[in-house]
Structure 1
Amino acid sequence: MTTTDVTTADPRVHGAADGEAPPRATPYKWRWLALFVILGAELMDLLDSTITSVAGPRIESALGGSYSQLQWMSAAYTLAFAMLLITGARLGDMFGRRRMFLVGTAAFAATSLLCGLATSPETLIAYRALQGVAAAMMVPQGLGLLRDMFPPGELAAAFGIFGPVMGLGAVAGPIIGGFLVDADLFGTDWRAIFFVNVPIGIAAFAAGMRLLPRDRVDARRTVTLDMTGMVLLSTAMVLIILPLVQGRESGWPTWAFVSMAAALPAFALFVWHERRRRAGGASTLVELSLFRNRAFTSALVVGLLFFSTMVAFMLIVTVYLQAGHGWSASDTAVALIPWSLACTVGAGLSGGLLAPKFGRRVIHAGLLVQVLGVLAVWYTVDHDPAGVSGWGLTPALAVTGLGVGLIMAPFFDIAIAGVSFEETGSASGVLNAVQQLGGAVGVAAFGTLFFHYAEGGAASVQAGFTDGITNSLLVMAGVLAATWCAVFLMPKQAREDGGSGH
């Protein structure tokens, strides 16, 4: 793919409206190979979000530090990532998604190297935060690049691959982490979980240079970054995510609730600033026109509820098996493989076959299947708490994973269906931020409920954790039912030519 190929396919060169970039006249030649470059970066982020959990005790033993510092080795990454996702997406809008993807990939590899070289808990926490910043530059470019590379008829199939990657990444992280730590490759011990990102990052950067389409950024646009908006939005995100990450660990002190309450006026101030800036003709951090798009705003509600349950489900099942039954981290991860494999099957079915024809009905079906799976896990645990086994949980976990997979592909496809090229970066950043926020809310809310019962003075440790997971799963089924109702707010189809339209 040459520069000439890109410019001749871009109607802007021939006088298209400023700030718009219509789809390419012909599909991008290397789009499927480029898709796997983007998925490689997504997988690198997903693995790094979960891979540290299994290595935590080894890191604490090697570097020392408190239990709180051990928690922040993961939380620093999540907080920095969530804070700057929208900023990273906006940078992609302004400077080009290919360029920011490559910058983020290179930075992710470099900060992974720094994490592996850390000599104290404090430096590791700082490097993990920098790694989260790099991920925020890299990850939100993916959706925009897909919209630019794929024609509408192939977009659902491309999105259908994201579900399996997310499922495999979530389960593979602890497995790969356990192997790398136990293998002690070249005497690197726990540091190998970070060093492994370096060759992957280098390979993704080199492949991206060759395979990703050149950016189609209009040189006539005034490129400015809304620094005030970035500070206001980052402050609002910190105010809500910091207490969600730290609150339960600290016993939900008063400051946690004050912080979450303060997030609302902080968000309101950000919106006021963005409107004022737009009225003055300046570029904004978030395209406020997004929130007049029914497909997008309804998807934010559905995404917040859905991702809160998905992340929380993995948390409470993992803690239940390890703390309640004494399973090892690797045994627990292997037990969750049916969830991941079924998620892969569900995403393949919905993305390539079902979603283009049935639209949001696939999301409705997926949520029903997921509710059945959650209730099946509840029944399995409640029916014979002492006899819980990996094989016994396999059918219920597989049904739950199938439901998640059915939802994933049509959700993202419908969410950005009515988003213009100019808005795609902002939409991607907001969607990713809501995904992170949903996960944080789910962990905080369901984690609090789970541990309330688990530590509530039951006759035995196993009985306490059984009470925790059964009560949490019943509430989760209720939240998923509410999500099913919220899906009616979304358009019937991802594209107007896909059926009944909007």
Structure 2
Amino acid sequence: MPARRRWAALVILLIAEAMNLLDSTIMTVTAPVIHADLGGPASAIPWFSAAYTLPFAVLLITGGRLGDIAGRKRVFRIGVAGFVAASVACALAASPALLITARAAQGAAAALVIPQTIGLIRSMFDGDELARAMGGIGPVMGLAAVCGPVLAGVVTHADLLGSSWRAVFFVNVPLGLGVLAASPLLREDRSARRPRLDLVGTALAVLGMGLTVHPFIDGGGAWGSPRPWAVPAAGLAVLAVFGAHQRHRGARGRSALVETGLFRDRGFPAALAASVLFFAVINGLMMVIVLQLQLGPHTDVRSAGLTLLPWSCAMAVSSWIAGARLVPRYGSRVMFAGLAALLVGALAAVAVYAAGPATSYPWPLPAALAACGLGQGLFAVAFFTTALHRVRPHETGSAAGLLNAAQQLGGTLGVALLGAVFFHAVGVSVTATITTTGTSVADAALHGARNAFCAAVTALAATGVAAVLMHRPRRGPAPAECPDRTVKSRAGYGGS
């Protein structure tokens, strides 16, 4: 395969990766605008994001298996075509229910696309060229993370041809069609040993995750009554059955969705818990910031997106510094430096919200958000490097899939739970439409944002505890260093 064709094919794969990350972050800024346009209950706001991230999280590993079986190029093209079609459906949605359904289709299509990219890159490059190709993933993901909220705010504010928020979905159409048109450049690749699909395991994972998360996202009902708690309890029971099913398949030598050996000591489960907690904080706070700006000082969507720019830029810069300089020298200690910086930023934001006033733009806030972004970049690179360094080579794919799924699940829960804290202070029922304005609502929004950041501080403390538990020595021979450094470089750049 000629070198020029290989590098052109790499560009195609990186554009597909960026499309996924852009669509997982655009709701940070556009969700309130969509709610104002389409109406419906306030509970629809977190679902605009969760409907994408949940299918994406639970179907990632199955999507990778489909590529092993049917061919990664073929599954990649099917996924991109589905993603484009779902994006058009999102742009044309006339109600919250239709948009949420289309977002779920988008997430499922992304779960077909993303697992194929690394395998396709490894099939086209060798030696030093492979390292260079893999090294391009991290910066592209960092740039997409920076551009996502800002691009969404700018495009929505521009109101191109009266399209408002719908234009952010139409952007995917030329990008996706371009990827499909250039996809013949890709080389077909499939696993030499084709695993079987674990359809029962996939169904159990989807059902268990959905039941566990749904009540927290929906927010409806009285949490003091038995019925709402019965739903996540049933979900946890289904996930327990899923775990037993995976152990049973592994014991019989059959293909399982996850490597059960990852759970033989506390280190990897602690890493999953840390991932869920950390990304719950990141994604939840970003949504709360935008909601407060739009309900309080009535900041337009472009300014709200630009407010997040210091966070995104600081995250991108600190991620690069951490990967190139700090983690190779200081190792996992960089995780705790990142958590400390994020705590400083969160506490500074609490002080900004406490000072008010509610109806004016909080000008000190961007500096606090820059500290948060600094902490995110330092923590994420060190965390994924540490979590995957403990993993044995044959467990790497399963571990990376689980960590990415935990990241998406954490983002979903963060939007739901920190959003619930915010709406509780605002006094808007999640079953009602947000239509009220005025000084009282602005004051309540300021109070809600402060409460959400205080809750985030507690979650960050729990993240620190989980990070400490990751350091417990693993029984048995030490695993070889993770050969797939791409997972380390690409993970942790995104939000939901």
TM range (shorter): 0.7 to 0.9
Matches within 5 A, 1:178-193: 178-179=156-157, 182-184=159-161, 190-193=165-168
Q: Normalising to structure 1: TM-score of the pair?
A: 0.79
**Which stretch of structure 1 is more off in the superposition, 169-178 or 487-496?**
487-496
Q: Which residue, 260, 265, 277 being the options, matches 1:288?
A: 260
What's 1:462 paired with? 442
Q: Write the distance in 1 (CA, Å) between the matches of 2:49 and 2:31.
A: 9
Residue 441 of structure 2 corresponds to residue 473 of structure 1: no
Seen in structure 2, the aligned counterparts of structure 1 residues 375 and 32 have a Cα distance that, compared at 3 Å, is farther
Asked whether the 8 Å contact 1:305–1:483 carries over to 2, the reply is: yes
**Which stretch of structure 1 is more off in the superposition, 79-88 or 430-439?**
79-88
Residue 354 of structure 2 corresponds to residue 376 of structure 1: no
Aligned residue for 2:176, secondary structure, equals helix
Asked whether the 8 Å contact 1:362–1:407 carries over to 2, the reply is: yes
What's 2:487 paired with? none
Q: Write the distance in 1 (CA, Å) between the matches of 2:142 and 2:234.
A: 37
Q: Which residue, 172, 191, 197 being the options, matches 1:217?
A: 191
Q: Write the distance in 1 (CA, Å) between the matches of 2:145 and 2:280.
A: 15
Q: Write the distance in 1 (CA, Å) between the matches of 2:221 and 2:398.
A: 34
Asked whether the 8 Å contact 2:156–2:164 carries over to 1, the reply is: no
Q: Which residue identity lines up with residue 477 of structure 1 in the other structure?
A: V
Matches within 5 A, 1:248-267: 248-250=219-221, 252=223, 254-267=226-239
Residue 32 of structure 2 corresponds to residue 49 of structure 1: no
Tell me the CA shift for residue 39 of structure 1.
4.0
C-alpha distance after superposition, 1:353-389 (max 9, x if no partner)? 2222222112111111111111111122223434853
Q: Which residue, 142, 153, 170 being the options, matches 1:175?
A: 153
Gapped runs of 5+ residues in structure 1? 3-27
Q: Normalising to structure 2: TM-score of the pair?
A: 0.80
Q: Write the distance in 1 (CA, Å) between the matches of 2:95 and 2:395.
A: 42
Q: Write the distance in 1 (CA, Å) between the matches of 2:472 and 2:420.
A: 36
Identity %: 41
Matches within 5 A, 1:422-433: 423-433=395-405
Matches within 5 A, 1:124-135: 124-135=99-110
Seen in structure 2, the aligned counterparts of structure 1 residues 309 and 120 have a Cα distance that, compared at 3 Å, is closer
Q: Which residue, 479, 486, 489 being the options, matches 2:466?
A: 486
Q: Which residue identity lines up with residue 288 of structure 1 in the other structure?
A: T
Q: Write the distance in 1 (CA, Å) between the matches of 2:77 and 2:163.
A: 28
Tell me the CA shift for residue 403 of structure 1.
1.0
Asked whether the 8 Å contact 1:235–1:266 carries over to 2, the reply is: yes
**Which stretch of structure 1 is more off in the superposition, 71-80 or 446-455?**
71-80
Seen in structure 2, the aligned counterparts of structure 1 residues 55 and 370 have a Cα distance that, compared at 3 Å, is closer
Q: Write the distance in 2 (CA, Å) between the matches of 1:317 and 1:58.
A: 14
* Count of residue pairs the alignment pairs up: 466
Q: Write the distance in 2 (CA, Å) between the matches of 1:337 and 1:89.
A: 33
Asked whether the 8 Å contact 1:347–1:409 carries over to 2, the reply is: yes
Matches within 5 A, 1:9-24: none
Q: Write the distance in 1 (CA, Å) between the matches of 2:283 and 2:414.
A: 7
Q: Write the distance in 2 (CA, Å) between the matches of 1:257 and 1:190.
A: 35
Asked whether the 8 Å contact 1:295–1:416 carries over to 2, the reply is: no
Asked whether the 8 Å contact 2:48–2:100 carries over to 1, the reply is: yes
What's 1:393 paired with? 365
Asked whether the 8 Å contact 2:215–2:232 carries over to 1, the reply is: yes
Q: Write the distance in 2 (CA, Å) between the matches of 1:437 and 1:342.
A: 24
Aligned residue for 1:450, secondary structure, equals helix
Asked whether the 8 Å contact 1:144–1:428 carries over to 2, the reply is: no
Q: Write the distance in 2 (CA, Å) between the matches of 1:138 and 1:71.
A: 24
